[in-house]
């Protein structure tokens, strides 16, 4: 079996850009069968010297994203001396930008990651929503930007994830008559909490459809109208006790409900859109 061609990726940051570009190009050749070797956060010429030696030993090529001129020039020089193909993945676009904006680049490694704070906030919020979904750990409520409460099938989870993509940390708590809400729910500021309600008939329809999708009988107590009325009555009492705003989600899309919540928080100066 033929060995895969090796490509050495060299970057003075993480190297994500180089990897994506190499994989995209490699897909056009032999189905992308290349072995990628990463060298991230390269900051010394000695490291570059070592990488060039390895590439020569393995008869490999180098693809790099080095924005520090001295490191880039050193890699170009050593690669040329050893007869190794070294491709600067950023230089052509960097030159085009320089001409367009009539200024030179900052030449600072990892600048994109430092600037893209919104990306990391979004990832953190999504991880938070997953971790504190469906009342998994009530200790997280005090760290949430928003807490959604309601009976089962009032769109708490999809709404939490949608708001997480807007960079808000959202936890949600199901309200069930047989299970007392966590004590933490009554200790956090009430303006963090949003109650979600729904009409009994709409909830009955949703739950029946849910049972059908699961291959279960639609006569289960879960979809029983009397049971639903009890749950909604219990949830309403909890919401009144907290004193939180309440939204009827009966005929609303996730995006519509999210817009209402964000408008409420923005009005109080607690949401930055």
Give dist(CA 64, CA 75) in Å, integer: 9
Backbone angles phi, psi at 143, to 5 degrees: -100, -5
Q: How much is the pLDDT for 123?
A: 87
pLDDT band at 1 (very low <50, low <70, confident <90, very high): very low
68 secondary structure, DSSP code: S
Is 273 a member of any domain?
no
CATH no. for residue 97? 3.40.50
* pLDDT, mean of residues 126-144: 94
What average pLDDT is seen over the chain? 89
Number of domains into which the chain is organized: 2
The helix/strand/coil state of 13 is coil
Residue that finishes a domain, picked among 100, 115, 130? 115
Q: Do residue 69 and residue 83 come from a single domain?
A: yes
Report yes or no: 156 and 148 within 8 Å, Cβ to Cβ. yes
Tell me the pLDDT band of 222, cut-offs 50, 70 and 90. Answer: very high
Check whether residue 95 and residue 208 sit in a common domain. Answer: no
| 99 and 211 share one domain | no
Task: Report pLDDT for 273.
Answer: 44
Binding site membership: which residues? 150-157
More confident call, 93 vs 142:
142
247 and 226 part of one domain = yes
Band (pLDDT 50/70/90 cuts) for residue 168 is: very high
Q: Evaluate whether 13 touches 109 at the Cβ level (below 8 Å).
A: yes
- How crowded is the C-beta side of 184, counted as CA atoms within 13 Å? 18
Summarize the confidence of residues 50-62 as an average pLDDT. 94
Q: Are 125 and 254 contained in the same domain?
A: yes
Where are the alpha helices (H) located in 168-253, listed in sequence order? Answer: 200-213, 225-242
Determine which of 93-97, 201-205, 262-266 has the lowest per-residue pLDDT on average: 93-97
Assess contact for 196 and 146: CB atoms under 8 A.
no
Q: Find where tokens 């930007």 sit.
A: 145
What is the C-alpha to C-alpha distance for residues 112 and 104, in angstroms, rounded to an integer?
A: 16
pLDDT at 166 over 90: yes
Q: Which residues are annotated as a binding site for ADP?
A: 150-157
User: How does residue 113 score in pLDDT terms, banded at 50, 70 and 90?
Assistant: low
What pLDDT was estimated at residue 135?
A: 95
245 C-beta neighbours (distance < 10 Å), count: 15
| Interatomic CA distance for residues 98 and 248, integer angstroms | 53
Find where tokens 């430092």 sit: 114
In a domain, 130, yes or no: yes
264: left (phi over 0), alpha (psi -120 to 50) or beta: alpha
In a domain, 272, yes or no: no
Given the DSSP bridges, would you call strands 5-11 and 34-39 parallel, antiparallel or unpaired? parallel
What average pLDDT score do residues 153-165 get? 96
Burial readout 188-222 (b: 16 or more C-beta within 10 A, e: otherwise): beeebbbbbbbeeebbbebbeebbeeeeeeeeeeb
């Amino acid at each position: 079996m033929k060995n895969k061609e090796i490509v050495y990726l060299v970057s003075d940051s993480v190297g994500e850009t180089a990897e994506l570009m190499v994989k995209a190009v490699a897909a056009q050749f032999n189905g992308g069968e290349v072995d990628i070797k990463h060298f991230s956060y390269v900051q010394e010429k000695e490291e570059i010297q070592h990488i060039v030696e390895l590439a020569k030993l393995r008869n490999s090529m180098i693809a790099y994203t080095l924005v520090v001129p001295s490191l880039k020039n050193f890699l170009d020089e050593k690669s040329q001396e050893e007869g190794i193909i070294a491709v600067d993945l950023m230089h052509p676009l960097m030159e085009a930008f320089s001409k367009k904006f009539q200024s030179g680049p900052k030449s600072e490694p990892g600048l994109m990651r430092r600037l893209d704070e919104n990306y990391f906030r979004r990832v953190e919020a999504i991880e938070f929503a997953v971790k504190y979904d469906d009342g998994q750990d009530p200790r997280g409520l005090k760290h949430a930007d928003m807490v959604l409460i309601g009976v089962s099938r009032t769109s708490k989870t999809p709404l939490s994830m949608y708001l997480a993509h807007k960079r808000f940390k959202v936890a949600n708590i199901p309200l069930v008559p047989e299970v007392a809400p966590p004590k933490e729910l009554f200790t956090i500021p009430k303006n963090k909490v949003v109650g979600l309600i729904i009409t009994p008939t709409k909830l009955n329809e949703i739950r029946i459809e849910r049972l059908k999708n699961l291959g279960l009988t639609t006569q289960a107590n879960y979809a029983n109208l009397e049971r639903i009325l009890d749950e909604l009555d219990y949830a309403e009492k909890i919401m009144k006790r907290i004193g939180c705003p309440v939204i009827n989600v009966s005929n609303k899309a996730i995006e519509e409900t999210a817009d209402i919540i964000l408008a409420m928080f923005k009005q109080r100066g607690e949401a930055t859109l």
